[in-house]
């Protein structure tokens, strides 16, 4: 294990109950690993968080009370730029929704759900289309759906294709890789780490060849300061997700709809079956993609359900 970014003995100079700032770089089994820049402390969270219903997240900027050279207690969570429930991460600049051209087959609905969550969190998003080596035709199809809406990068962690483009996209930002398991998130991160000389963490030992499945969120810092969040994959969303979007209308979570929203006949048009709907006209002309519209209808239905249940 490679927890200590700097000299771990520096921590020994800290006096009891000294408070220092840091960032949670890993959350696992009730422990929070806080990187202070000098060392990484294994921390429990103060009981008060649980009482208040607050869960510290990977990416949180925190203050900890240091107990000894290796342990501390998370005492305060500093205000978040944003937070996600799935994956459980905070303070994201770029949400890199990762899909595979093949193995596993891409669910466009799941992809669109991730993208909608990024919109709700006011994080930038991009689409990483990995495994181009397995099915270039499928990669191109997926790229065609997203390229006018989000930055879309076609990649192969197997051949290194697209990694330069990905590197330019992530440079200097806090980037969460999210997507179904097996699409190659950890493999892509290992590639970024190889070329960028990893400052903290040890992604290479846990990547590739399907041997290590990511089961928790972990943040790696590249030499240029870029923060990369590796997250566990999953295959379905909990129904609660839509409830968390309750401050939004479904349509505003689909950026390519925005240009049409004022042009529908009815001001409260939901773009389902209403006459003279500008979004559905854009669908008919091909300006709005069918899969995106289908994902919109699903999200809209879920958000209506969630509203009725509260
Ligand atoms: N052919 C091919 N296989 C890949 C590629 N990227 C990852 N893999 C393989 O896909 C499997 C899952 O990769 P992993 O990085 O663990 O996926 P994660 O669950 O999204 O983190 C592993 O067996 C990888 O070796 C790629 O670009 N092409
Ligand atoms: Mg992984
Ligand atoms: Zn409409």
- Which residue segments constitute the domains of the chain, with CATH numbers given? 8-77 (2.40.50.140), 83-230 (3.40.50.300), 242-308 (1.10.40.50)
Q: What is the pLDDT of residue 152?
A: 98
Closest to 182 measured CA to CA, from 151, 218, 208, 156: 208
Q: Model confidence at 194, in pLDDT bands (50, 70, 90)?
A: confident
> By alpha-carbon position, which residue is closest to atom 12 of ligand 1?
182
* CA quadruple 57, 60, 62, 67: dihedral sign: positive
With the most atoms of ligand 1 within 8 angstroms of its CB, the residue from 154, 178, 182 to mutate is 182
The stretches of 218-289 forming alpha helices (DSSP H) are 240-243, 278-285
Ligand 1 atom 25: the closest Cα is on which residue? Answer: 209
- Would you say the CB of residue 211 lies under 6 angstroms from ligand 1? no
Predicted local confidence at residue 255, as pLDDT? 97
The pLDDT assigned to 202 comes to 53
Q: What are phi and psi of 31, to 5 degrees?
A: -105, 145
Quote the CA–CA distance of 189 and 204 in Å, as a whole number.
9
As a whole number, mean pLDDT of residues 165-185 equals: 95
Which whole number is the average pLDDT over 266-291? 97
Q: How far apart are CA 293 and CA 100, in angstroms?
A: 21
Ligand 1 near 160 CB (within 6 A): no
Contact 254, 234 (CB under 8 A): no
Q: The tokens of 151 are what?
A: 């930055």
Q: Which ligand is nearest to the CA of 139?
A: 1
157 lines ligand 1 (CB under 6 A): yes
| CA 104 to centroid of ligand 1, rounded, Å | 10
Task: For residue 149, report the distance from its CA to the centre of ligand 2, in Å.
Answer: 26
Nearest-CA residue for ligand 1 atom 28 is: 131
Instruction: Say yes or no: CB of residue 191 within 6 Å of ligand 1.
Output: no
What is the reported pLDDT for 6? 42
Ligand closest to CA 190: 1
Q: How far is the CA of 82 from the centre of ligand 1 (A)?
A: 29
- pLDDT, position 53: 86
The answer to whether the beta carbons of residues 116 and 253 sit under 8 Å apart is yes
Distance CA 250, CA 247 (A): 10
Structure tokens of 214? 């990511």
The per-residue DSSP string of 252-300 comes to: GGSGGGGGGGGGSSSTT--SSS-TT-HHHHHHHHTSS-HHHHHHHHHHH
d(CA 3, CA 277): 55
Tokens found for residue 201: 């963490």
| Mean of pLDDT values over 208-219 | 67
| Cα 49 to averaged position of ligand 2 atoms, centre (Å) | 29
156 lines ligand 1 (CB under 6 A): yes
Ligand 1 neighbour 231 (Cβ under 6 A): no
Judge if the beta carbon of residue 209 lies within 6 A of ligand 1: yes
Would you state the pLDDT for residue 213? 66
Is 214 a pocket residue for ligand 1 (Cβ < 6 Å)?
yes
The pLDDT tens digits for 91-136 are 999 999 999 999 999 889 989 999 999 999 999 999 999 999 999 9
State the average pLDDT over residues 164-175: 97
pLDDT mean over 153-163? 97
Helix axes 108-120, 290-308, angle to 10 degrees: 60
């Amino acid at each position: 294990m490679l927890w200590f970014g700097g000299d771990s003995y520096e921590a020994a100079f800290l006096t009891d109950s000294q408070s220092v700032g840091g960032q949670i770089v890993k959350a696992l089994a009730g422990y929070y690993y806080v990187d202070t820049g000098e060392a990484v402390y294994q921390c429990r969270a103060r009981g008060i968080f649980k009482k208040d219903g607050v869960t510290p997240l990977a990416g949180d900027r925190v203050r900890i009370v240091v107990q000894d050279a290796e342990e501390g207690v998370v005492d305060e969570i500093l205000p978040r730029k944003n937070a996600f429930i799935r994956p459980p991460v905070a303070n994201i600049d770029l949400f890199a929704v990762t899909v595979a051209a093949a193995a596993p087959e891409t669910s466009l609905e799941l992809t669109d759900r991730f993208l909608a969550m990024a919109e709700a969190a006011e994080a930038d998003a991009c689409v990483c289309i990995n495994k181009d080596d397995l099915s270039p035709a499928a990669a191109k199809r997926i790229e065609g759906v997203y390229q006018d809406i989000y930055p879309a990068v076609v990649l192969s962690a197997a051949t290194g294709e697209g990694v330069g483009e990905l590197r330019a996209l992530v440079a200097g930002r806090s980037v969460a890789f999210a997507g179904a398991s097996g699409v190659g998130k950890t493999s892509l991160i290992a590639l970024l780490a190889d070329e960028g000389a990893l400052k903290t963490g040890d992604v290479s030992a846990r990547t590739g060849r399907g041997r290590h499945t990511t089961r928790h969120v972990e943040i790696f810092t590249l030499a240029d300061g870029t923060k990369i969040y590796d997250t566990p994959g999953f295959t379905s969303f909990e129904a609660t997700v839509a409830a968390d979007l309750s401050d939004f209308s479904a349509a505003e979570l689909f950026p390519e709809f925005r240009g049409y929203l004022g042009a529908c006949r009815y001001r409260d048009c939901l773009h389902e079956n209403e006459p003279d709907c500008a979004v559905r006209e854009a669908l008919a002309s091909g300006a709005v993609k069918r899969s995106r519209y289908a994902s919109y209808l699903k999200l809209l239905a879920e958000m209506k359900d969630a509203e009725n249940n509260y």
